[in-house]
Structure formats: structure tokens, C-alpha cells
Structure 1
Amino acid sequence: MASPSSPVYCPRIFTTMVNVTLNPINSTQKITPLSAFVISLHGLFSSVGIVENLLILGIVGFHVRRSVISIWILNLAASDLLATASLPFFTLYMAKGRTWTLGTPFCRLHSSIFFLNMFVSGFLLAAISMDRCLVVLKPVWAQNYRNTAIVAKVCGVIWALAVLCTVPFYLFRDTITDRNGRIKCYYNYAQLLPAQPFDLESLCKRREEAFGLTKFFLAFLIPLLIIIFSYIAVNAKLARRGCRRPYRFVRLVVAVVVSFIICWAPYHILSVMEVLTPLDHPSQQSIARGLPTAATIGFLNSILNPVLYVFSCPDLCSKIRHSLGAVMESVLAEDLAELARRRSSGRISNSTSEATLKPRNAITALCLKGEMEVSEGLSTHEN
């Protein structure tokens, strides 16, 4: 056992961090055009993401009446703002020749923000998909019980679960110096060691597998399956009701699923490969070099989310000339007057007079402009 003053590293992680970088780009040489392009791209992503999410938080938070949809969007934008605000420090890491110069405490904090956003985004996108699914499958229930108080509590639970999932990643993050003098902000599973005798290599392997699989299942696979099956259920319900599914509807659904896969699949796949691939396998070097790029692609999801979930109103192009606040109000605000009128008359009536109401366009099932309109149209059909 090493002395208290000597850092303790897992054999696998230490060997990977040291040996994979035997032939890297020397940190003292000039930045290549490709590196400069990548660093500039990081800066662009960060600037666009910060401005984009700040605008959404400011407009939705102060100029849009509280609704179920605005609460979803506020929480999603808050998570994405945290991620994009931390991206400049990742850009600095790239500009410094992929060496971390901001110390161990900030290494842990910066990494925790990335993982927190990863979990919150996955959980929120899954919850939003389930919410839309309930609006279509259970319109009467959604009309009567789906309200801002319940959604706010759900968002609170999502943040709490995401924080709990992030705590281990904070505790086991550390700075490791390789043979070239580069400092890596990476995992160090040889921390918080048990008091009883143990095999360090076996303990590290179990922890590494637990971390990799936890990220893959909780932040990617399970949310992705929920998103896909929710939209399949919505589509099947609309098909049974004979509702038309315009191209815009299909395009939005495909964009949501594809963007989530494209942004997060590379990172999670490489993370799982890193855990399951033998240490002496040649692909370990490619994995180690590819993970930072995959993390950058994951950050891109924080820029795409506002576009997909806020600016997906069908009438956006014709309304873009109005003020941004008016556009957001049109996209996010629910028809509170109509909702109040319906609730003032008691629970949704099952009288046959409702059968004369015209069903709404099926595109509103997934458009953030007014999801409650779908429930009105579907409940009319049921009666």
C-alpha cells in the first residue's frame, strides 16, 4: 500500500492514462489548423448555447404565463445552460494541449456539471415524452389532473435523482499526470478505499464497470426507449382515431429521437467499450483519444434541445417577424381561458353535444404550441 502522501491509482486507469499517450502531440508545439478549428468550434458552441438558453430562461421565466409546457422548458433550459456555461473551460483544456490547469476541485465540479446535465437531459426528455403520451392516450385524465404543481414536483424529483446519480462521479474524479506532464481530469477509482483487506485491481474493475453501465442505462438507453415507445404509442393512438399525421409531425418525432441518439450515442458507446475492452487491446488508444470529442458532441445536445422543443411551432416562420417574446408566448402558452371555461363547468362533460366539436389537427399532439388541444379533439371522438 502506498504511503498517505503518494497518490494511489487503479492499475488499469493509470496504465491507460500513461501508456495511451506515449505518442501524443507535444503540448509545447504550435496549435495545428485542425486543432484551432476544433477549439473555435467549442467556443462557438458555448456562445450559441449560452445565449440561446439565457434567452429561453429570460423570456419563458418572465414573459410567459406558467403552464405545464413552460415548466418543462424552463428545467430543460436550466440544465442546458449549466452544460454550455461549463463548455468554455473544456475549450481551455483543449487549447492548453489537452492538459487540465484549473486544479482538482474545479476538475470535479466541471465534470459533475457535465454528468448532471447528462442525467437531467435524459430524464427530462423521457418525462416530456411520457407527458405528451398521456395527453394523447388519457386526454380526460390529463385535462383534469395534469397541472403545473404536479409537473413542478416531477421536475424536482428529476433534479434530485440526477444529483444522486452525479455524486459518485464527483467523488471519484481526480487529476492524473501522465508521462508527458499532461494533467488529465479523469476517473480515479482508487479513492475512498475500504478499511478491510481488498484487491485493488478487482475493486477498481467493479467500480469502473458500475460507472460505465450506470451512465449507459440510466442516462441513455432507458430514456431513449421511453422516448421511442412514447412516440410509437402516440402514433398508434392517432392512427386508430383516424387522425392524419402530417409530415411536420413525423419530422419532429424523428428529429427528437435522432438528435438524442447522435449527440449521446458516441459518448456512451465509447464509455462502454472502454470498460469492456481489454487493456492491451489496440482500440484502447482510439477510445482514449475519441472520448473528448464524443463529450463535445454530447454538449451539442444542449444547443439542439431549445430548437427542437421550443422553436418547433408550425407557424414559427410566419411569426418570426414578431418580437421573440410574442413567439415564445405563442409557442408555449396554453389556452388558459379555454381551460378555465371547461373546468368552471365541472369535469369534462360526456354529453353528446361535445361530439359536434371539430377534432384538432394531429400535429398539435407533439407541437409545444398547445398540447391540450389534442386532448380536446380526442375526447370529442371518444364521446
Structure 2
Amino acid sequence: ICSGISWNAEPALSGSRGRALREVYLAASALAMFACVCGAAGNSVVVWLLSAGPRRTPFCVYMLNLAAADLLFLLCMASELSLETPALADRFAKAYEAVRRVKYFAYTTSLSLLTAISAQRCLAVLFPVWYKSRRPRHLSAAVSALLWALFLLMNLLASVFCSKFWQHSESQCFTVDMVLSTLIVGVFTPVMAVSGLTLYVRVRRSALLRRRKPRRLLLVILASVLVFLVCSLPLGLYWFVLYWLPLPPEAELLCICLARLSSAVGSSANPVIYFLVGSQRTKRLAEPLQAVLGRALQEEPELEGRETPSTGTNSGL
């Protein structure tokens, strides 16, 4: 990630197996570009609707920032794929490098925001009374701003230490990558996985004991966490772990193609999740998007096991 060396597919595309690998590379790039275009459109709609909404819940603020980070990532991914064409690769080398670094920033910010979302919702589920009475009013906005600033600073430092103009920067690049990989693999991913598992257990327990539909916001967070772990995490593992391993060019090509395609799908999935969870089967495609999104992200206080649900609440939110 931080070495400043542009990834080049040419070594893997030469030789006897070059034709088959080239077809795989072109097909994966085309699919990734299609996912980026669709995902950018979906996340743009989410950003617009949440920005124009009259009232934002704490988790709407998180989802607004997450959609903005995913939108930035998808735009950078699409630009990177476009700049890899032979006609543009040499002419816009500096622009290609800048796009790659902004993409790293958007990826790490999106990961940290999703971790904060799942962890905070887990606290709200486990300790509803404490969460409702002790949570600072502007916690979600403050955490989001802090994460944007933190990872902007970290990626700027990574760019400085790993610049190709920095002499003897190989060890510094490796150190920076190890710090970021520790955050991704050792902190964010376990916290996200544990929070997601806790929410899943809570959803199952609520469904079995109370025979109520799980709240839509919990389903949104669970689906987002699962999609990220399955689709977007491989790209981070490639950047921060596999990049430093001596892989054959063919294996490196297949890894990056798979990681790019899956990450593009992962960053494009949240708007689809909001629509599927928030829409009603009988009115699907007939409701305003604002109403569907508001229903998917509506936040309600979690009920303790000793409490009985209100008979007036039957929407399953």
C-alpha cells in the first residue's frame, strides 16, 4: 500500500498463460467498474437523502458518513481502473498514485466507521438504560469527525514515509503497513466480528423468546458487517499483508482482481441493504426512497428481557 510503486499487471500477462490471465483481468476489471458505477449512484442517493433529511438519528449520522466514505472509495476505484489503460497509464502516473492514496484513506475510514457503528449498537443492545441516559448527545458526529481526521492524518504520514522520493524508505513503509494491518486485522475486524455476533445472538434471542420480528436497524448493521467481512476485507488483507509476500505474478494478479471486484461489490451493497430491509413487500418500488431509508435506519430503544413490548409498536422496526 505505502510503497508508492504502482501495481503492474504486465509481468503476469506475459508468457504462455498470458492470454487466459489477460481475459480474467479484463473481465474482473469490467465487473468491478460496473459495480463501482452502480454503487456510486446508490451511495450518492443515500448521501443526498440523509443530508436533506429533516431529523437525523445518531445512526443516520454514522450511515451518512459511511455512505460518503464508500462513495469516495468507489470513485477512486473507478478512476484507478480507468487510469490503468495503456493509453493513460504513462501520461497520468502522478494522478494514478494520488487516486490510489485517496482510495486507501477512504477504505480505512469506511472500515473504522462500520466498526464504530457495530460497537455502538452493541452497547445500545446490551446496556439500553445506560446508553440512553449516559450517551453524549453528539457522540456519533464527534466519533465520525475524529475517525475522518485520524485516518486522513495516518494516510498523509504513510504517504510521506513511503514516498518514492524518501531515501531508504522500505523499512519505514513496512513499519507503517504493519501499524495499519494491526489496526485492521487485530483491532477493527475482531471488534466488528464480536459486535456482529453479539447482535446476531440478540436478534435470535428476541425472535425466539418474544416471537417478534427483529428490528430493521439491527438487520441493516448485521448485513453490512457480514458483507464487509466477506467482500471488502480481502482487499485490506492484500494491501497490508499479502503485498509484502513474494507471490508469483500470476497469483498476485488473481488476488488483486478478486480483491478489487469483491471490495467494489462490498462498498456498493449498503444502499441495496437499506432498500431491501426498509421496504415493505406489498409496496416495494412504490414508496418514496426517503420513507424506505428512514424505516431501515429508524432507531428505537432496545427492550430488556423483563419488559413487555408495547402493543402499539408492531411495525417490526
1:9-54: CA deviation from partner (whole Å, max 9, x where unpaired): x9xx98x979x9556349xx9x966555334323312210121011
**Mapping of residues 346-357 of structure 1, within 5 Å:** none
Aligned pair 1:93/2:83, yes or no? yes
Contact preservation (8 Å) 1:65, 1:333: no
Q: What is the rounded CA distance, in whole Å, between the counterparts of 1:269 and 1:101 in structure 2?
A: 30
Aligned pair 1:63/2:63, yes or no? no
**Mapping of residues 95-114 of structure 1, within 5 Å:** 95-96=85-86, 99-104=89-94, 106-114=95-103
Contact preservation (8 Å) 1:116, 1:162: yes
Give the AA of the match of 2:86: K
1:121-158: CA deviation from partner (whole Å, max 9, x where unpaired): 11111111111111111111222244651211111111
Residues 1:107 and 1:160: Cα distance change in structure 2 (over 3 Å): same
Contact preservation (8 Å) 2:122, 2:198: yes
Secondary structure in 1 matching 2:275 = coil
Contact preservation (8 Å) 1:57, 1:77: yes
Match of 1:303 in 2: 268
Residues 1:360 and 1:54: Cα distance change in structure 2 (over 3 Å): same
Residues 1:292 and 1:155: Cα distance change in structure 2 (over 3 Å): same
Residues 1:73 and 1:319: Cα distance change in structure 2 (over 3 Å): farther
User: Which of 54, 60, 64 is the matching residue for 1:74?
Assistant: 64
Identity across matched positions, percent: 20
User: Which of 13, 34, 42 is the matching residue for 1:44?
Assistant: 34
User: Which of 251, 268, 274 is the matching residue for 2:243?
Assistant: 274
Aligned pair 1:263/2:231, yes or no? yes
Moved more, 207-216 or 153-162: 207-216
Give the AA of the match of 1:124: L
Contact preservation (8 Å) 2:278, 2:293: no
Aligned pair 1:191/2:180, yes or no? no
Aligned pair 1:233/2:223, yes or no? no
Residues 1:362 and 1:220: Cα distance change in structure 2 (over 3 Å): farther
Match of 1:318 in 2: 282
What is the number of residues matched between the two proteins?
301
Q: TM-score w.r.t. structure 2 length? A: 0.77
User: How far apart are residue 61 of structure 1 and its match?
Assistant: 1.1
Residues 1:229 and 1:63: Cα distance change in structure 2 (over 3 Å): same
Q: What is the rounded CA distance, in whole Å, between the counterparts of 1:33 and 1:248 in structure 2?
A: 44
Aligned pair 1:121/2:106, yes or no? no
User: How far apart are residue 69 of structure 1 and its match?
Assistant: 1.8
Secondary structure in 2 matching 1:311 = helix
Q: What is the rounded CA distance, in whole Å, between the counterparts of 1:355 and 1:251 in structure 2?
A: 22
Match of 1:168 in 2: 157
Identify which of structures 1 and 2 has the higher relative contact order when contacts are C-alpha pairs closer than 8 Å and 6+ apart: 2
Contact preservation (8 Å) 2:36, 2:265: no
Moved more, 162-171 or 129-138: 162-171
User: Which of 123, 128, 132 is the matching residue for 1:139?
Assistant: 128
Ranges in structure 1 where 5+ consecutive residues have no aligned partner: 1-9, 173-187, 194-199, 340-353, 370-383
Residues 1:213 and 1:246: Cα distance change in structure 2 (over 3 Å): farther
Contact preservation (8 Å) 2:50, 2:60: yes
Q: What is the rounded CA distance, in whole Å, between the counterparts of 2:235 and 2:209 in structure 1?
A: 40
Q: CA RMSD in A?
A: 4.0
Secondary structure in 2 matching 1:165 = helix
Residues 1:170 and 1:256: Cα distance change in structure 2 (over 3 Å): same
Aligned pair 1:329/2:297, yes or no? no
Ranges in structure 2 where 5+ consecutive residues have no aligned partner: none
1:333-376: CA deviation from partner (whole Å, max 9, x where unpaired): 447xxx9xxxxxxxxxxxxxx95654899996xxxx5xxxxxxx
User: How far apart are residue 259 of structure 1 and its match?
Assistant: 1.8
Aligned pair 1:154/2:131, yes or no? no
Residues 1:150 and 1:362: Cα distance change in structure 2 (over 3 Å): farther
**Mapping of residues 365-376 of structure 1, within 5 Å:** 369=317
User: How far apart are residue 103 of structure 1 and its match?
Assistant: 3.2
Q: What is the rounded CA distance, in whole Å, between the counterparts of 1:119 and 1:251 in structure 2?
A: 23
Residues 1:100 and 1:268: Cα distance change in structure 2 (over 3 Å): farther
Contact preservation (8 Å) 1:79, 1:120: yes
* Structure with more of its chain in helix, by fraction: 2
1:216-271: CA deviation from partner (whole Å, max 9, x where unpaired): 22234422211121133345556499455869989867644442222234333334
Match of 1:374 in 2: none
Contact preservation (8 Å) 2:47, 2:68: yes
Q: TM-score w.r.t. structure 1 length? A: 0.65
